[in-house]
A and B are shown apart, each in its own frame.
Chain A
Amino acid sequence: MNERIKKASRHTNQSEGLIFEKSSPGKRAFELPPLDVPDVDAAKALGTYHRKDGVDGFPEVSEIEVIRHFTRLSTWNYAIDLGMYPLGSCTMKYNPRVNEFVARLEGIATEHPYQPQALSQGCLKILRLLEKCLLEITGMDAITLQPAAGAQGELTGLLLIRAHLEKQGNPRKKVLIPDSAHGTNPATAVIAGYEVENIKSESRGQVDVEKLREQVTEDVAALMITNPSTLGIFEQRIPEIAEILHTKGALLYMDGANMNALTGITRPGDLGVDVMHLNLHKTFSTPHGGGGPGAGPVAMKKILEPYRPVPILVEKDGGRLALETVRPNSIGRVKAFVGNFGVLLRALAYILAYGPGVRQATEDAVLNANYIRKRLEGVYDLPFSLPSMHEVVFSDAVQKKNGVNTMDIAKRLIDYGFHPYTTAFPLIVPGALMIEPTESESREECDLFIDAMRSIAEEAAKTPDVVKTAPHTTRIGRLNETVAARKPVLRWKPATSKSEAAD
């Protein structure tokens, strides 16, 4: 380990088993107030439906044991609160704590989606203001806040496109998807009832416009584009791409995962995009929470507005807001209720904190990515040389000569105190290192990251084995994923867990 590198610290070691292994009959961690109505005989009331004994195997522990158990587990996690996640296209930015505070307010967290709308004006105003802000940011005409995440937003967007084309007489058969796209894109297209046709990127990593011209036929419903692309590069010909599609009656869908490069700088609506989703858990700071929840609002041009999922938020006389469900052309609901309201309000809190100054966040994100690119160029192979925006993609081509690949480098980065960058994606770059620092990283953190990456490159050249067998400082080594897939053990059962927790 290079002693010059200050950041690295040993991972916390603690032994902690499964909560079921700590249970002891009769212990409990939560008490209810006494029953204040006459009790009933559950067996009599429920007959054969009655579950006589409690849930078999359920934990029985005290409050302090619950606190210690989960606190100890938490110390095994890396988190944004601890340091940078240079994960490309994930936009792991700071999750502001005031957002957590306002989400929990009495009168916000407590509201039932079916309570009278006259008693929900506060919630509806939050939604309406968020709609307006996101329309301003995207340059679109209408929006739905219902989709629960980006993938569901993609599905909603494609269903809107399908409904629009169906109204014109032919939903068409295919969706074009670049070979650099995120996996949710083709998975979603299939669920929307379309065939996927791949479109290859050209030599600079951009959508091949000449190929596009050939591939856009009257069978093509849409192109799903990510902009900037998953290489972090702006699709410079996007207005032309939109034109080609529109001429043939097809539409342009934009995957908005990389909005962190565009907010306040340019607007997808101005570029010719017809419909797009946003990932509020990326660009708009709502917390990842270990994998969710998120929200994937879909913004669209006027032509798609009639097909929006219900309910629709409308403004009535006197500024009163209402949710309307009667919309004959709507594609229906994609999710129960109005959406992930708790996530939506956090995104609004983020936007309110920045105001028009949100452009500064975008500038800082792009500056950080370019700074890292400049200082790692020449150390790592840069397969595509067009300017990077908020993320940069290197490859492991240089290190591979010594048998060190991107996964190894990523694991070694853990020893230096960082979470790995995105490995092995996008698919068009073999051995990719996809790095997105976000605006939340200080210069100091960026420098520590750069120093770590440079040190690892040196190690890959001189002492490759230390990289190939990393990480060395975590409480647990590389786990056997083959066994986990061949013989899946997906739940605890009494007396079957034979291995012991790590020390």
Chain B
Amino acid sequence: MGYPNDRRYTKDHEWLVLKGDVATVGITDYAQHELGDVVFVELPKTGAQVAAGKSFGTVESVKAVSEIYAPASGEVVEVNAGLHDTPEKINTDPHGDAWLIRIKMSNPADANSLMDAAAYEAYISEKAKEAAH
């Protein structure tokens, strides 16, 4: 799976797609692969405030729990409720159907400080090299 050019990426393996001032957020293919089979996702309620770099939820596999960090600050305007019954979508379609939340960004320009697809791909291939040593 490639990393689409229409979005930005974080070091914690989240992606963000901006439309106007609303950002759709999810986790990357790399992240779902590291996690293994996803069994549960814990997401905030609409109206909740999220802060850049702070955890807003968790993704669970059978044997591990991972925090999900907000790529930007803002208010949660929509939550992907379908993931409650079909968390496996995160494994099969992490960049599309398994978006997690939509945030009305406090400052849409913040998205520009995140990595683009090329930078993210370079970042994860560095990580892969480190792991092999």
User: A: which residues have CB within 8 A of B?
Assistant: 424, 481-482, 484-486
Q: Specify which of A424, A481, A482, A484 lies most central, judged by the most chain B CB atoms within 10 Å of its CB.
A: A482
Complex alpha-carbon distance, A363 and B40, angstroms: 47
A183–chain B nearest beta-carbon distance, Å: 12
Query: What's the least CB distance linking A427 to chain B, in Å?
Result: 11
A485–B88 alpha-carbon span in the complex (Å): 11
B69 CB, nearest partner CB in chain A, Å: 19
Residue of A nearest to B88 (CB): A486
User: What are 15 residue pairs bridging A and B, where the CB atoms are less than 8 Å apart in the complex?
Assistant: A424-B63, A481-B62, A482-B37, A482-B39, A482-B62, A484-B62, A485-B39, A485-B40, A485-B60, A485-B62, A486-B37, A486-B39, A486-B40, A486-B87, A486-B88
Give the residues in chain B near A482, CB-CB below 8 Å: 37, 39, 62
> What's the nearest-Cβ distance from chain B to residue A490, in Å?
14
Residues of B59-115 at the interface with A, using a CB-CB cut-off of 8 Å, are: 60, 62-63, 87-88
Residue pairs across A and B with CB atoms within 8 Å: the count is: 15
List 9 additional contacts besides A485-B40, A486-B40; criterion CB under 8 Å: A424-B63, A481-B62, A482-B37, A482-B39, A484-B62, A485-B39, A485-B60, A485-B62, A486-B37
Q: Which of B14-65 contact A (CB under 8 A)?
A: 37, 39-40, 60, 62-63
Nearest CB in chain A: distance from B11 CB, A: 21
Q: Kindly provide the distance from the CB of B93 to the nearest chain A CB, expressed in whole angstroms.
A: 16
Which residues from chain B contact A424 at a C-beta distance below 8 Å? 63
Please report the total number of B residues contacting A with Cβ < 8 Å: 8
Q: In the complex, what residues of A have CB within 8 A of residue B40's CB? A: 485-486
The smallest C-beta distance from B31 to any residue of chain A, in angstroms, reads 17
Bound CA span A119–B86, Å:
61
Report which residue of A481, A484, A486 has the largest number of chain B beta carbons within 10 angstroms of its beta carbon.
Answer: A486
Min CB gap B65→A, angstroms: 12
Q: In the complex, how many angstroms separate the beta carbon of B73 from the nearest chain A beta carbon?
A: 24
B40 to chain A, nearest CB (A): 7
Report the separation of the CA atoms of residues A486 and B91 in the bound assembly, to the nearest whole angstrom.
13
What is the bound-complex CA distance between A445 and B18, given in angstroms? 63
- Residues in A neighbouring B63, C-beta threshold 8 A: 424
Expressed in whole angstroms, the Cα–Cα distance for A450 and B39 within the complex equals: 37
- Find chain B residues with CB under 8 A from A485 CB: 39-40, 60, 62
Closest to B87 in A: A486
Residues of A within 8 A of B37 (CB): 482, 486
Chain A nearest CB, measured from B74 CB (Å): 28
Task: Say how far B90's CB is from chain A's closest CB, in angstroms.
Answer: 11
Q: How far is the CA of A484 from the CA of B63 in the complex (A)?
A: 12
Of chain A, the residue at the smallest CB distance from B86 is A486
Give Cα A484 to B62, complex, Å: 9
In the A-B complex, list the 10 residue pairs whose CB atoms are closest, starting with the nearest.
A485-B39, A482-B37, A481-B62, A486-B39, A485-B62, A482-B62, A482-B39, A486-B87, A486-B88, A485-B40
A408 to chain B, nearest CB (A): 15
Tell me which residues across on chain B come within 8 A of A486, comparing CB atoms. Answer: 37, 39-40, 87-88
- Give Cα A81 to B81, complex, Å: 50
Residues of B within 8 A of A481 (CB): 62
A452→B40 CA distance, assembly (Å): 38
A25 to B89, CA, bound (A): 45
A91 to chain B, nearest CB (A): 24
With CB as the reference atom, state the residue of chain B lying closest to A485: B39
B67 to chain A minimum Cβ distance, whole angstroms, is 15
Residues of A within 8 A of B88 (CB): 486
Residues of A within 8 A of B39 (CB): 482, 485-486
Cβ of A295 to closest chain B Cβ, rounded Å: 29
A485 CB, min distance to chain B CBs, angstroms: 4
* Chain A residues within 8 Å of B87, by CB: 486
Q: B39, B63, B87 — which one has the most chain A CB atoms within 10 A of its CB?
A: B39
CA distance A424 to B60 in the complex (A): 17
Shortest Cβ gap from B18 to chain A (Å):
32
**What residue in chain A is nearest B60 (Cβ atoms)?**
A485
Which single residue of chain B is at the shortest CB-CB distance from A484? B62
Residue of B nearest to A486 (CB): B39
